[in-house]
Amino acid sequence: MRDPSAGFAGVIVHPTAIVHPSARLEEGVEIGAYAVIGADAVIGAGTVIGPHSVIHDNVELGRGNRLAAHVVAGGWPQDRAYRGEPTRVVIGDENRFSEFCSIERATGEGNETRIGDRNFIMSSVRVSHNCVVGSDTNIVSGTQLGGWVQVGDQAYLGGLSGVHQFVRIGRLVMLAGLSGARQDVPPFVMAAGLMARAVGLNRVGLQRQGVSPADRLVLQRVFRQFFRERRTMEEALRAIEVEASNCPPAQEFLAFIRSARERTRGIVRWQPRAEA
């Protein structure tokens, strides 16, 4: 029902909801029963906040988001290093958050936990402090992202999967359900297993995203050269450079590998599909 006493023009606020006077609610926002909106929160136009959800202080939600019941955004991070310093959660447009999702604020003064646009984040997913999630991802129920995780655009993380802190998941990666990613997963790769290994390319995802047959063929060769052939890292990179010269997806794969070498977690290894 429209609450004329709420003080926000064009906004529907349930009478049992609590909205801090400094929060900014844009046109068409709906706030459900018993929801709580904290100080200096920004709720973009057309966003719907479900019953019993909590949007903490300094959380920014873009336009057209849909939050189901009991979603929490901007709570204190599960990080012993956090000392109450001012940090934020910034969420883009047209995301869907199912019941009991949790998005933690960042650790470190001025830092942010960020989520892009058009993501489908399903029930009981936890996005920990300082994570950066791209756009158009699917993160299935029960998935847990540790602190400082990065998830690339169009990635798919299967149900009850886990991603270790500081791990990076590349674009169009598919991580199987019940998998544990403890190392970086390069773009376009399928990974599976309790200690996840690369099992192949995400061919279906590549095709759906319009990657040409020629580029998909190059990526197959790149995958084989990096993961399956017995080469040193330098030998593999030199071979991939040749393949990638006229293939933007292969160049993206190569850039990820090079940057991953400077990171702490390493890169997933090869595992034949039947043994994954």
What does the domain layout of the chain look like in residue ranges? 12-148, 207-271
Asked if pLDDT for residue 7 goes beyond 70, the answer is no
pLDDT category of residue 276 using cuts at 50, 70 and 90: very low
Q: Which CATH code, of 1.20.1180.10, 3.30.360.10, 3.90.1310.10, 1.25.10.10, is assigned to 207-271?
A: 1.20.1180.10
Task: Give me the pLDDT at residue 264, please.
Answer: 86
Looking at residues 97-102, what average pLDDT do you find?
Answer: 98
Q: What is the mean pLDDT of the chain?
A: 94
pLDDT of 271 reads 82
Yes or no: say if 268 and 179 are a contact pair by the CB < 8 Å rule. no
Q: Burial letters for 124-140: b for 16+ Cβ neighbours within 10 Å, e otherwise?
A: bbbbbbbbbbbbbbbbb
Whether residue 6 is predicted with pLDDT greater than 70 in this model: the reply is no
12-148 and 207-271 have identical folds: no
Specify the pLDDT at position 257: 96
The 10s digit of each residue's pLDDT in 105-158 is 999 999 999 999 999 999 999 999 999 999 999 999 999 999 999 999 999 999
Q: Which residues contact 177 (CB under 8 A, 6 or more apart)?
A: 140, 158, 159, 160, 161
First CA to last CA across the chain, in angstroms? 52
CA distance 57 to 39: 5
Residue 8 has a pLDDT of 59
Quote the pTM value: 0.94
pLDDT digits (tens, 9 = 90+) for 52-82: 999 999 999 999 999 999 999 999 999 999 9
* Per-residue pLDDT at 175: 98
Q: Which two tokens stand for residue 273?
A: 């599909």
Out of 2.160.10.10, 1.10.10.10, 3.40.50.300, 3.30.930.10, the CATH code matching 12-148 is: 2.160.10.10
Quick check: 169 pLDDT over 90? yes
| Residue 108 near residue 130, CB atoms below 8 Å | yes
